[in-house]
Amino acid sequence: MPGKLHGRSLISSKDLTTDEYAEVLHTAVILKRQRRSRTPNLELTGKTLAMIFQKPSLRTRVSFEVGMTQLGGHAIYLGPSDIKLGARETTEDIAIVLSRYADIIMARVFGHDIVADLARHAGVPVINGLSDREHPCQILADLQTVQEKKGRLAGLHMVYVGDGNNVAHSLMYGCARVGMSLTVVTPEGFEPDAEILADSVEIGRSQNATIASSRDLSASVKNCDVIYTDVWASMGQEAEADQRRQLFAPYQVNESVLARADAECVVLHCLPAHYEEEITYEVTRSRNSAIFDQAENRLHAQKALMVLLAG
């Protein structure tokens, strides 16, 4: 029997309940174990994933395409020149047409409204592969990685350091849902969206998790369980890169920052990394670093998501 997630879309990290996060992560563990033991799992045989890309990608494209292949299905890459969303055709028409061909649609876009419109008009599940507002697939991999390293999620304290961007927004929702406290540490003027913060605080309260924003890096990381960072300037913000380097310089994750955290603190970065900017190369290669496990888990978490949505 199809589960509660069957036929659903994932547009925001808020879309999943606490139990549904547990279901996705449990499925990801099983699929990862099967992959490691070379046990075939062809649950999506005969299914097709349509992948829409406005933004280039390494991890998103490869993890979804490889994941679909491993599950017995097929993935089609549709780049910016193949589909001009809202220009050559309306988003509504694209959603309706692709739903006649494919069983799942994944979109990596700029505006969050685009992926929301796709989900509104599509007759198949739509997955947000990244938008300017959120990055829910990344957060599934992040939570899987923390769970692997720490054996649990509830009761831990994560500190996210950097820009209050799409990754920070999805982390706020995801951590709140699973009962993990999160402090988002940013320079003044780069705080996460106030509405998402307030929403996450409320969700977190029901799970005994504290979601907060701060500018004090030193105090925030003291004895924390997880430190997470991301690039200071995301795609589309290249013109601001030089200015951001100056403003964000005090927020680099380096050995002195790591030393204030718990000795077994897990270091995460969703990649690509700009070494010696948001994080030092030494920290990414330290015993605390799990950034490449985290990158691998994009594959397993997204396979789990696709199986539950369309299997």
Active-site positions read 108, 135, 138, 230, 270, 298
- CA-to-CA dists, residue 291 to 90, 116, 141, 288, 294, angstroms: 38, 29, 11, 9, 5
**Residue 4 zone, left/alpha/beta (φ > 0; ψ -120 to 50; rest):** alpha
301 touches 24 (CB < 8 A): yes
Q: How many residues does the chain have?
A: 311
CA proximity to 255, closest of 273, 279, 274 = 279
Q: Which residues contact 296 (CB under 8 A, 6 or more apart)?
A: none
